[in-house]
Amino acid sequence: MTDPTSRALSLLGLLESRATWTGSELAQHLGVTTRTLRRDIERLRALGYVVEADPGPGGGYVLGRSQVVPPLLFDEEQATATTLALARSALTSSGVHAEAALRALATIESLMPSGLRHRLGALRDSTTVTISQEPVDAELLLRCAEAIRRRVRLSFDYVDRHGKESSRTVEPHRLIARDRRWILVAFDPGPDDWRSFRIDRMVRCTVGTWRFTPREDLPQILERIDSPTPLEAWRHRMVVHILAPYEVVRQELPGAAYLSAHDETTTELIAGVEDPLEGIRWLTQLSHDFIVLGDETVRAAVSSLATRLDRASQQY
């Protein structure tokens, strides 16, 4: 093996596969002299790997731990396991961990051989992972992440909360996992302003080739998005009295923006929902009893669900 790069990768694979190697063993596996082996060891060290050497009798080379993350070498089984684990983490976590998992997933997939990438895509597509009640399109998420990484425009069809359809071509800047949903933050050249798009409302997504320069005001936009979503942005306003003290409910619902003490034993929760039934299903997971005060559509959804559950309990 004469190519230094290929030889360094082979050397790294050998060091990862066993705890200790002697210099002569490594040189024999690589088909080189011990002098060339020492140069290859130094090449790995220059890349950030910690390769420890014990010159004494019975000593050898050991791959140690680094203070930084060096480039990693995966075989096909490791790449498959890592990809599926990252996909699940990206689709079921929230906040910074979900975003980090998605960035890592996009990076790994961009470096994979074509054949392995296609096989992993088929495996991932055959596995359903959900956020809230809606299945998440992992391929669409990855396309958004790819466009952000490459800094190219993204085109897609979109259905807003009023059911209005439109076609968009935007400059994608960030993916955010929020309220158990994924949101794309992008600059829309049409209205010349920032927009946020729910991933579950996007279809026919295409990564373009038109490059753009990231906008400098992105941090200010992200700060604005991090503030609570106005209740007026939702179709329905759910007003609930939870029969437990505020301090207890706050610990159970740390992310609730509109939560207040109604009295010493009752906590008022106000939340916006698109689908009343989805909101009610979420309420049934609370550890405390509750009373739904509004709106009327949400109250009707409670009655409908209660009737169905009562009917189900009477069937034998």
For residues 282-301, give the mean pLDDT: 91
Backbone φ, ψ for residue 245 (5° rounding):
-60, 155
∠ CA(243), CA(271), CA(130), 5° rounding?
100
More confident residue, 98 or 286: 286
Instruction: Map out the domains of the chain as residue ranges.
Output: 4-64, 76-226, 231-313
Rounded CA separation 129/91 (Å): 7
Domain 4-64's class?
A: mainly alpha
Region 231-313: CATH code: 3.30.70
Question: How does strand 236-242 pair with strand 165-178?
Answer: unpaired
| Tokens representing residue 42 in the block | 């130094």
∠ CA(160), CA(161), CA(164), 5° rounding?
45
pLDDT digits (tens, 9 = 90+) for 107-151: 676 666 666 666 666 555 544 444 444 556 767 877 888 888 888
Domain 231-313 in the same topology as domain 4-64: no
Long-range contacts of 94-98 (CB under 8 A, 24+ apart): 94/177, 94/178, 94/180, 95/177, 95/178, 98/177, 98/182
pTM of the complete model beyond 0.75 = no
Residue 137: how many CB atoms within 10 A of its CB?
A: 18
For residues 197-216, give the mean pLDDT: 92
Nearest to 174 by CA among 112, 209, 136, 226: 226
Rounded CA separation 42/310 (Å): 72
Q: Are 208 and 152 in contact (CB under 8 A)?
A: yes
